Structure 1
Amino acid sequence: MPYKTILVILDIPDNTRVAVDFAAAFAKEHDARIVGLHAEIVSAVPLVAPMEIPDPVAVQALQDMAHKQAVDIERLFRTKMERESIAYEWRGVSSTIGYGSQPLMEIARSADLLIAVQPDPSKSSDSQVDVESFLFESGRPVLLIPYIFKEPKPIRRVLIAWNGSKEAARATFDALPFLKTADSVEVFSVDTADSSTHSPTETGAEITATLVRHGVRARQETAMCGGRTPSQVIENRLADDSIDLLVMGAYTHSWLWQLIFGGTTRTLLQSMTAMTLLAR
């Protein structure tokens, strides 16, 4: 089943052009409707020492800046969609708490696929998309575009990071529209000491057979950790070949555990070299 409703999250101007270009390319491929989503957010209220009284002039300046940014982003989105003759709609939402607000999640839950640009760690902003909120609260797959990408590229080679978890299964089946049109799909498992009761080779063979029955050009590969973390093994595999799309389940272990101690999801999100489809 192709993606018919694609929601593109347009957080800051630097990411908007890239996001709409990718969304437009996917919309044409899947004959989909694009929903542009932007949250107009005002940063934390500045205070005037020593009485800590909000400065109305500074507050108004921040509101004006956020509104101008929202207007510019909407204009860029509409212009691109109309130029490419793509069916679209615009959803602008005012928010004081960022992209984790309930109205935004309710909009996202009606889409087949969410698209966002990976936040640039060197350009931290309160207006940047909160990817984790969408992963945990929307119930929809999220396709992340590396911030280093400047123009769309076709998805020809796909790597599925398979560990047999329910999150990996959801991501794999959510990615089927991409998998069916790819030239090659590799089901890649990392054999670790804490692997499930079924070996990665066994579970990988089963999901590979299922994908082949869907008409996917899938094959199975398994790698040993060899003293490395799973994320390092996956990163090395991505570097070894020209992978266009990584498909993986997000936060298969406790999110709090990964927040404190790190984990495969957080590590790969920080060093993205390929488009990444995540689901949970």
Structure 2
Amino acid sequence: MGYRTILAVLDTERNVGPVADLAIGLAQQFSSHIIGIRAETLATVPLIAPMEIPDPAAIEALQKVAQEETRAIETAFRQKLDASGIAYEWRAFVSPAGTSAESVLETARTCDLIVARQNDAKHEADNSADIETFILESGRPVLLLPFALSRIAPVRRALIAWNGSREAARAAFDALPFLKHAESVEIFSVDPPDMPRQNPEFAGADLAAALSRHGVKVSLHTESNCPTPIAEAIENRLSNESVDLLVMGGYGHSRWWEMLFGGVTRSLLESMTAMTLMSR
């Protein structure tokens, strides 16, 4: 079992290197085929007063900039993949409305894993709406790479954020190719009495048993009466245990950073210290 088709989301030229390197490493591990995707949305154009007619010159200039960026991204991606010897293909889409991810969902739904990079608000436009669309609408697991991660290391230690929900269960089993190769996997629950979908006394026990039958080296850790918010408790656990991969469910709230457990703040993904696999 592995990720045989990987979709690499290449939204900016700055992200091509890190995303391509991660996809190549996974492809070497799982004998994968990589699909590189660039999905651009037609920009809002200035209007000419008083008739509010779109300015043709502005439209042409914006389209030219977008096309040049797409060509630069494609060139950088092809150079990376040609040097690696990995089987790959390139696809570019233009969406007339909505988020750019909408136009690539048909492709995304046929892949085993979607790889993207966490948004870096200091250097690039906000791509959170696109990531939200992939997580909520693709039906496939999304692996997010932290922008602050300077080196992509193999997944040796993984943590499953567990609340007994359908989304958390799907994420756990979508992550099996990683979990089976990890040296240790921890199922982490916070205040199980407040989680109606799991037995407080045996939080994660059935999941641990199921994963162990797949050969996963799994352990359980529960924090009861946790004095900190769930997001902070998870962040602390990731840091204290030197976790390489966080596995968690994606929930259908209005913004992608509010998905975990239906109410955890955006701080968890903004301060991302480990690769994060999300499923819904």
Above 0.5 in TM-score?
yes
Task: Give the Å deviation of 1:189.
Answer: 0.7
Aligned residues: 275
Q: Which residue of 1 aligns with 2:19?
A: 19
C-alpha distance in 2, partners of 1:242/1:201?
A: 27
Unaligned runs of 5+ in 1: none
Corresponding position of 1:79: 79
Q: Is the CA contact (8 Å cut-off) linking 1:117 and 1:146 kept in structure 2?
A: yes
Q: Does 1:100 align with 2:101?
A: yes
Indicate the residue corresponding to 2:175 in structure 1. 175
Q: Distance in 1 between matches of 2:218 and 2:200?
A: 16
Q: How does 1:208-227 map to 2 (within 5 A)?
A: 208-227=208-227
Contact 1:250 1:265 in 2 (8 A): no
Q: Secondary structure at the match of 1:149?
A: coil
User: Aligned letter for 2:100?
Assistant: Y
Shift of 1:46: 2.0
SS of 2:116's equivalent? Answer: strand
More moved, 89-98 vs 9-18: 89-98
Partner SS for 1:228: coil
Which whole-Å deviations, capped at 9, do the CAs of 1:53-107 have from their partners, x for residues lacking one?
Answer: 3222222111111000100111111111111100011111111233232x41110
Over residues 173-195 of structure 1, what are the superposed CA-to-partner deviations in whole Å (9 max), with x where a residue is unaligned? 00000000001101111115521
After TM superposition, the structure 1 = structure 2 runs for residues 63-142 of structure 1, keeping only pairs within 5 Å, are 63-97=63-97, 98-101=99-102, 103-125=103-125, 130-142=130-142
2:13 and 2:20 map into 1 onto residues whose CA distance is 11
Moved more, 195-204 or 226-235: 195-204
RMSD: 2.1
Answer yes or no: is the 8 Å Cα contact 2:163–2:192 preserved in 1. Answer: no
Structure 1 pair 275–248 and aligned structure 2 pair: CA distance change class (3 A): same
How far apart are residue 132 of structure 1 and its match?
0.8
Contact 1:158/1:244 (8 A) holds in 2: yes
Cα deviation, residue 239, structure 1: 1.7
Partner residue, 1:35 = 35
Distance 1:225 1:75 in 2: 53
Q: What SS class does the counterpart of residue 219 from structure 1 fall into?
A: strand
CA contact (8 A) 2:9 2:115 kept: yes
Identity among equivalent positions (%) equals 48
Contact 2:145/2:275 (<8 A) preserved: yes
Q: Is 2:253 the counterpart of 1:255?
A: yes
2:276 maps to a residue whose letter is T
Q: Distance in 2 between matches of 1:59 and 1:126?
A: 22
CA contact (8 A) 1:201 1:222 kept: no
Deviations 1:153-185 (A, max 9, x none): 111110110111000000000000000000110
Query: 1:121 deviation in Å?
Result: 2.3
| Residues 53 and 225 of structure 1: CA distance in aligned 2, closer, same or farther (over 3 Å) | farther
Q: Helix, strand or coil: the match of 1:163?
A: coil
Structure 1 residue aligned with 2:230: 230
Over 3 Å counting, the alpha-carbon distance change for 1:77 and 1:197 in structure 2 is: closer
Note the alpha carbon deviations across 1:14-46, whole angstroms, 9 max, x for none: 111110011001100101000111113332112
> Distance in 2 between the 1:269 and 1:49 partners?
42
1:203–1:226 Cα change, 3 Å: closer
Letter in 2 for 1:153: A
Q: Which runs of 4+ in 1 moved over 3 A?
A: 48-53, 126-129, 256-259
**Cα distance in 2, alignment partners of residues 15 and 129 from structure 1:** 17
Q: Taking structure 1 as the reference length, what is the TM-score of the superposition? A: 0.91
Structure 1's 33 and 72: CA in aligned 2 closer, same or farther, altered over 3 A? same
Aligned to 1:7: 7
